[in-house]
Amino acid sequence: MNSNKKFTIMITGVITVVIFWIGWVSSNPKDEKAMATFVSVEKLLNDKINKRTKLGGLVKDGSIIISKTNYLDCSFVLKEGNTELTVKYDRTRPDLFKDGAEVIVTGQYLDGTFYADELQTKCASRYEGDLRDESNYKLTEIKT
């Protein structure tokens, strides 16, 4: 076997191993937090999915309740379209979390409540290079 062939075999070998590796990790991630399914709130409620999921929506105005005993404990109502769902979250809240904020929560659904362990707010950053589309701003924002 000449060296050229040996190299071809070797290279194909490396690539195959890696592809298998990527495929394997994709189907059996070590950490359950590695993956989450993005679903609509409606689908989650209808199908009662109790796997790890990610939901997006708005925080319903006036729905944020912060526990009197532990300020980290909070619950709020997530609104997506007309569907609503109570979300419980007991970690540090992002600074931009407030009424009407657009949020993405990750966690698990159990008996009518969504227990989130991740809460992301829409990034207010208009900075980092190229963040938001201008069409996203309302002109009333400018008037102030």
Partner 1 sequence: MNPVAGGVALNLAFGFSILSIITLLIFIRNGDMRLFLTGQRLSLGISFFVFLSTFILWYQLIISNFDIDYVARYTSLETPFIYKISALWAGQSGSLLFWLFILSIFATITVLQNQSKHHGLMPWVIISLAIIQLFFLVLTNFVTNPFMPTDADFVVKNGNGLNPLLQNITMAIHPPTLYLGYVGFSVPFAFAISALMNRDTSPLWIQSIRRWTLVAWLFLSSGIILGGWWAYQELGWGGYWAWDPVENASFMPWLTATAFLHSIIIQEKKDMLRLWNMALIILTFALCIFGTFLTRSGVMSSVHSFTASSLGPIFLTFVFLILIVSFTLMFLRRSDLRSEKRIESFTSRESGFLFNNLVFVVMCFAVFWGTLFPVISEAVRGTKITVGPPFFNQINVPIGLILLALTGVGPLLAWRNTSKQSLIKNFTVPILSGLVAAVIFMAIGFKGSVVISFSLSVFVLATISTEFMRGIKARTKTFNESIVKALITMISKNRSRYGGYIVHVGIVFMFVGFTGHAFDKEKEFSLKIGQTDHVAGYEFTLLKLSETERSNHYAWISDIRVTDNKGEFVTNLYPEKRIYFHKNPDVNRRQPHSELDIYSTLNQDIYSIFSAIDNDNGIAFLKIMVNPLVRWVWIGGYILVIGTMIALWPRKD
Which residues make up the interface to partner 1 (CB under 8 A)? Answer: 3-4, 6-7, 10-11, 14-15, 18, 21-22, 25-26, 29-31, 33-39, 54, 56, 70-72, 91-93, 95-96, 98-100, 102, 104, 120, 122-137, 139, 141-144
Task: Give the C-alpha distances (Å, rounded to integers) separating 13 from 3, 19, 21, 34.
Answer: 15, 10, 12, 27
CB of 85 to partner 1, least distance (A): 18
Vertex 89, ends 83 and 93: CA angle to 5°? 110
CB of 89 to partner 1, least distance (A): 12
The torsion angles phi and psi of 83, rounded to 5 degrees, stand at: -90, 140
Which of these, 69, 133, 70, 138, lies nearest to 100 by C-alpha position?
138
Nearer to partner 1, 111 or 128 (CB): 128
Nearer to partner 1, 39 or 41 (CB): 39
CB of 115 to partner 1, least distance (A): 16
Max alpha carbon distance in the chain (Å)? 77
Q: Report the Cα 19 to chain-centroid distance in Å.
A: 26
Nearer to partner 1, 81 or 100 (CB): 100
Nearer to partner 1, 71 or 115 (CB): 71
CB of 86 to partner 1, least distance (A): 20
CB of 55 to partner 1, least distance (A): 11
Vertex 48, ends 53 and 62: CA angle to 5°? 70
